[in-house]
Structure 1
Amino acid sequence: MADRSFGPTVLAGLAGAGLAATAGHRDWVELTAPGGGQAAADWFWQNAPGLGQMPASGALGLVALASWGVLLVSRGAWRRVVAAVGLLASLGLAAVWVTGLLTLRDDVSAEVRGADLAAGWSVEWTSWFVLAGIALVLLVPAHVVALVRLPRWPAMGSRYDAPTIRSGSRPAVAPSPAPAADLSEEDPADVWKAIDEGRDPTERADP
């Protein structure tokens, strides 16, 4: 009987990994300014690309996403290795997210103060930071379930494997066609007679 955890777990894992990979390449914080100072804040932000990001999150999100793709088309011990790699990537994402929660706003605020810009600017969380957290809620449990329940999950059949040649066997070779008979010395009348009768004039009877 098929394990009922397969479908929901794979869907949750793919959704979480896709969301994590996308959110990992976006700004997790943004710079806001009161009144008419937002234009200056936007100019500063555009000239500091990546300041509001956690670079490792995007790479780990792609690893987690790739692990689900490989897991669906692999079998045996290799499949368990891939599931373990995906779990490590998702745990790494969780560590990066927590690190960002504790340090990212303060780090960006320090950069803003160091630039000696207008007072009153503040660093706020974006929706991408929240979505990255939601992705982890889906992704980490999905990888844990995958690693535990993997032996009971269906695997791709062997019919999708590349054909192999067994040791000691040789591939069948199609027989070469017999050479056509030379009609240069035949009577043209006999050739046309054979054609009229529906016979191939190039075929000769065996002696």
Structure 2
Amino acid sequence: MNRRPYLLSLLACLAGAGLAAYGATRTWSVQVTPRPGLSDLRTVETGADVAPWLIGLALVGLAGTGALLATHGWLRRALGGLLILAGLGVAVAAIAGRAGLDTGEAGAGGTVWPVACAFGGAIIASGGLTAARQGHRWPRMSARYDRKPPAPPAEVPAGVNTKPIDNRAAWDSLDRGDDPTD
């Protein structure tokens, strides 16, 4: 089995979510209002201020990456569809947030960070597309740590006392100086 698409999809979703979350927390706009006799008033807006759902969608992409590891079959394919939607949501939100924004004195950051967010969303969507198309063929998690059914009770050797100990009687025998295990 070729694991390359599996690893690339996981890496794409992880990197895209990281890039989108980082780009959403950077400065997209700086508005400076001059005030005579006082210092200028600076109003800074990040991508999360412009489009608050950017961080949430990036975190959905990050959580979806972990869920791709834990799922298999049709559930992994459905999760790939969810990652496509999250990635497209990040890209659309970044583009729409930047479209009506006056960057002011933000410089290149007013353009670079929205583009980085949109690019991160596209990367998440491409990883989700790969998972939706090929996820059912990928290896699944090991069942090594799954809970096993309880073993049948073993036979008790003859002469072993299996009835429960009366705790009160045991303490009373200790008070008298007797050994309660006899």
When normalised by structure 2's length, the TM-score is 0.69
Q: In structure 2, the residue corresponding to 1:28 is in which secondary structure?
A: strand
Q: In structure 2, the residue corresponding to 1:5 is in which secondary structure?
A: helix
Corresponding position of 1:184: none
1: distance between equivalents of 2:115 and 2:72?
Answer: 35
Kept after mapping to 2: 8 A contact 1:21/1:61:
yes
* 1:54 correspondence with 2:59: no
Sort the Cα spacing of 1:2 and 1:160 in 2 relative to 1 into closer, same or farther, 3 A.
farther
Q: Return the offset for 1:73.
A: 1.2
Alignment of 1:96-107 (within 5 A): 96-105=93-102
Sort the Cα spacing of 1:51 and 1:21 in 2 relative to 1 into closer, same or farther, 3 A.
closer
Sort the Cα spacing of 1:171 and 1:64 in 2 relative to 1 into closer, same or farther, 3 A.
same
Q: Return the offset for 1:51.
A: 8.2
RMSD over equivalenced CA pairs, Å = 3.5
Q: 2:81 aligns with which of 74, 77, 84?
A: 84
1: distance between equivalents of 2:93 and 2:69?
Answer: 27
Query: Which structure has the larger Rg over C-alpha atoms?
Result: 1
Q: Which amino acid aligns with 2:160?
A: A
Kept after mapping to 1: 8 A contact 2:32/2:41:
yes
Q: Which digits, 9 at most, give the CA deviation of each residue in 1:152-195, with x for residues without a partner?
A: 22111222323245xxxx6425748825xxxxxxxxxxxxxxxx
Q: 2:133 aligns with which of 127, 140, 148?
A: 148
Kept after mapping to 2: 8 A contact 1:27/1:52:
no
Q: Which digits, 9 at most, give the CA deviation of each residue in 1:8-67, with x for residues without a partner?
A: 222122111122123234432233579x99x5232x44xx88885310111111011101
Q: In structure 2, the residue corresponding to 1:31 is in which secondary structure?
A: strand
2: distance between equivalents of 1:50 and 1:128?
Answer: 8
Corresponding position of 2:12: 12
2: distance between equivalents of 1:59 and 1:79?
Answer: 21
* 1:133 correspondence with 2:133: no
Corresponding position of 1:27: 27
Q: Which amino acid aligns with 1:178?
A: V
**Mind listing any 5+ residue stretches in structure 1 that lack a counterpart?**
109-121, 180-207
Q: Which digits, 9 at most, give the CA deviation of each residue in 1:119-169, with x for residues without a partner?
A: xxx25416432321331342221211121111222111222323245xxxx
* 1:162 correspondence with 2:147: yes
Kept after mapping to 1: 8 A contact 2:29/2:46:
no
1: distance between equivalents of 2:119 and 2:14?
Answer: 13
Q: Which amino acid aligns with 1:83?
A: G
Moved more, 52-61 or 127-136: 127-136
Corresponding position of 1:2: 2
Large movers: runs of 4+ above 6 Å = 48-51
When normalised by structure 1's length, the TM-score is 0.61
1: distance between equivalents of 2:85 and 2:48?
Answer: 26
* 1:172 correspondence with 2:153: yes
